[in-house]
Structure 1
């Protein structure tokens, strides 16, 4: 960890083969979460340690090891010492609510760069999506409800192809937007852990060299998911009749389970790539190592995160949708007649504003949770809290770990 200007973000470690000048390598992760004694080689002794912020702390005092198991010394009243908190999180293993609160606290404490990044990217992507929807994408295929047999299957197939064609550009645009926001906001979160701010220029300067590797990681994970889904669905699609449909459904369920397992296993690859300057394949291995033994915990935290995002999305988009339909009299008239509605600019603009608000809030929250999950796993496995406290200038942590 380097505390000089231009230092790499917390958690940085050189890739294998790099000289690592000025940046210490992390201690090798344990194969599984062990007892607290494995978090740090230096353990405090009861009655001989004072918190970093208390009088008497300094270079001669040993830094606290989070979660140490000895009995509290005199003066603590039977409670363990408080962890240092130079930024948005305490420097110790985090609970679920602390991770979520840390993401929100980052948005509040550093709202200028966070809002600047997320709002700018949200507005640009929404404008592109609206223009594509209005001028480029084909109109939805109408389906005759009275069609039967082969005609019904043909119309359903054409409708599915049209829907995929319509959603593909939005998916690509969303992936690119997530790519940029993740890279920039991870820098903001990494600084906020140390209690430091960052400007848009500084965030971009630090994130820019990692954009292409992060793009490669995103494409690799997307292709991996697509290949697994294809393998799961293809056998059923090659067989006609009910047997083929049942096999395709079974293959789809199996493929979803495998994809979900892999995505959680590699969910910390992007923070590792950004903060440790790791190449793509190394970041995947790094994520798998950090997630090992904690798959269900990470799955639960991410599920809660996206559930909160869905709730916020519904709270915002439903009122905007009602206003949009009401403002577009032509589309509303078609809807009341039972015809396929042809919504115009009023509908697109109002719904677009709602989407921008949702994206502006969702991007930094999810990026913050991902970055803090990564930091939490490294605190638990590698005592990263000691390096972070030293980088933040907390008294008593100025002696580097051996």
Structure 2
């Protein structure tokens, strides 16, 4: 056994307290008792205070039977900080433990969990569980935000598809003139750009407010819609600028790489540039994927948030890419099983009204039934998946800061956990 200072021996051991030739109390172990083979002469030589159950006892003095205590019982999963002793050692609920961080420690104590995640580096399951747990426990704040944003976006999308895209010449018997085609495409592109801008604004507002809700959920605090709006509003313009900057930067990168092929009139060179652009876009997208929560939670500027994301992702690119890609696959699957059945029902209704000719002239896909049912499915899917995607991004940001900057200490103080740290004066209690 290790007899380092401050350690409490969990049970009898021949090396601790039964050393041949060692006088009582002089063998370096506090509270050492005489060996079991030595009979008491002239009465007990130790104090009247009896040892704890399961440890040493006098061989000649009868005692009431005591239930044995398991000396090496491991802490149960999910146990709180109260299961472990403080700096002086002591008896916990799961046995005798030494000071946290001491030599020979029997494993890492479970981290405090004031909110939806434990305050320690997270794994994939804890990140996904934290995102879903926040949506489940704070649904009164999360779901109305995403529901309103998704509804507004889909209503505008339905109107654009009905009154703009339906005007595109798709008939086979009539070839439109070049002027008609340009006018129609110009109007449609303008409507699509306006629709995309509305979607961008809605996504930015939802992302900003959800970021604030998730940041409070990490601390175990609730957040109303009004509170989330007041906290997110000062950074909305910067978040818009960050989103536009990333989008324009990606478009510029693609344009620069395919420009030589366009200038040379070579399709092969253009495709080669496009193939080179794809991995670069993916690498930059992951590299700056944590810029949004850094901008919102640190109240920083756009360039500072980009630098912060680059530093946090450095060395963990593949891990963040894997978690982000898996989250995208999960949300895409959830969206598909919601949207596709409703879209199929809408197309079936359109075919029942217009027949097979509706597929040829496009009226089946742009009919009210198909558009409305598809929009309803999209609203439901976005209401569910948008919080998961935002939550995973925020929790990845928190996880990287815990790993690199010991953010868990600051979060513990903000959550009201006293004396939380590597060498606390008293074990804190997680909420």
For the superposition of Structure 1 and Structure 2, which TM-score range results when normalised by the shorter chain?
Answer: 0.7 to 0.9
Q: Specify whether residues 237 and 143 from structure 1 end up closer, same or farther in structure 2 by C-alpha distance, changes over 3 A only.
A: farther
Q: Deviations over 1:130-152 (max 9, x none)?
A: 122223446334275999xxx9x
CA gap of 1:72–1:393, structure 2 versus 1, over 3 A, is: farther
- Match of 2:264, SS? coil
Residue equivalent to 1:253 = 275
Determine the structure 2 residue equivalent to 1:115: 143
Shift of 1:339: 3.8
Equivalent in 359, 362, 385 of residue 362 of structure 1: 385
Alignment size in residue pairs = 339
Q: How does 1:8-157 map to 2 (within 5 A)?
A: 53-54=81-82, 73=105, 78-137=106-165, 139-142=167-170
Structure 1's 159 and 131: CA in aligned 2 closer, same or farther, altered over 3 A? closer
User: Map of 1:349-388 to 2, 5 A cutoff?
Assistant: 349-388=372-411
Name the residue aligned to 1:200: 225
Which residue number corresponds to residue 282 of structure 1? 304
| CA-CA distance at 1:129 after TM superposition | 1.5
Tell me, in whole angstroms, the C-alpha distance in 1 between the residues paired with 2:87 and 2:228.
32
CA distance in 1, matches of 2:130, 2:423: 26
Q: Is the contact between residue 235 and residue 247 of structure 1 (CA under 8 Å) also seen in structure 2?
A: yes
In structure 2, what is the equivalent of residue 340 of structure 1?
Answer: 362
Q: 2-side partners of 1:133 and 1:119: how far apart? A: 21
Structure 1 residues 399 and 245: CA distance shift in structure 2, 3 A: closer
How many Å apart are 1:398 and its aligned residue?
8.6
TM-superposed deviation, 1:334: 4.1
> Could you tell me how far 1:352 is from its partner in structure 2?
0.8
Q: Report which of the two structures shows the higher radius of gyration computed on alpha carbons.
A: 2
CA distance in 1, matches of 2:355, 2:420: 69
Which of 324, 327, 331 in structure 1 is aligned with 2:346?
324
Structure 2 CA distance for partners of 1:358 and 1:55, relative to 1, 3 Å: closer
Counterparts of 1:124 and 1:46, CA distance in 2: 63
In structure 2, what is the Cα distance between the partners aligned to 1:157 and 1:132?
18
**Contact 2:81-2:109 within 8 A present in 1 as well:** no
Matching residue of 2:257:
232
CA distance 1:253–1:70, change in 2 (3 Å):
farther
User: For the structure 1 residues 387 and 164, does the alpha-carbon distance in structure 2 shift closer, same or farther, using more than 3 Å as the test?
Assistant: same
* Residues 145/294 of structure 1: CA separation in 2 closer, same or farther (3 Å cut): farther
Q: TM-score, normalised by structure 2?
A: 0.70
Q: Distance in 1 between matches of 2:347 and 2:283?
A: 40
Q: Take 1:296 and 1:160, find their aligned partners in 2: how far apart are those partners?
A: 41
Q: Once the 2 structures are TM-superposed, how far is the Cα of residue 232 of structure 1 from its aligned partner? A: 1.4
Deviations 1:146-202 (A, max 9, x none): 99xxx9x99999999888666534433332222111100000000000111100010
Indicate the structure whose relative CO is greater, using CA pairs within 8 Å and at least 6 residues apart. Answer: 1
Cα 1:119–1:393, aligned 2, differ >3 Å: closer, same or farther?
same
Return the alpha-carbon distance in structure 2 between the equivalents of residues 136 and 127 of structure 1: 14
CA 341–400 in structure 1, closer or farther in 2 if over 3 Å, else same: farther
Structure with more helix by fraction: 1
Q: 1:179 to 1:60 in 2, by over 3 A?
A: farther
The answer for the alignment partner of 1:15 in structure 2 is none
Note if contact 2:113-2:119 (Cα within 8 Å) is conserved in structure 1: yes
Cα distance, 1:340–1:334 mapped onto 2, change above 3 Å = farther
Relative to 1, partners in 2 of residues 1:329 and 1:138: Cα closer, same or farther, differing over 3 Å? closer
**In structure 1, what is the Cα distance between the partners aligned to 2:398 and 2:351?**
51
* CA positional deviation for 1:60: 10
Distance 2:194 2:260 in 1: 28
1:305 alignment counterpart: 327
SS in 2 for 1:394: coil
- 3-state DSSP of counterpart to 1:278: coil
TM-score scaled by length of structure 1: 0.75
Residue aligned with 1:238, SS: helix
Aligned CA-pair RMSD? 3.5
| Separation in 2, partners of 1:93, 1:229 | 36
Cα contact 1:143–1:159 (8 A) shared by 2 = no
Unaligned regions of 5+ residues in structure 2, if any? 9-74, 90-99, 425-431
Corresponding residue for 1:10? none
Q: CA deviation at 1:124?
A: 1.1
Pick closer, same or farther for the CA change 1:132–1:336 going to 2, 3 Å.
closer
1:57–1:395 contact (8 Å) kept in structure 2: no
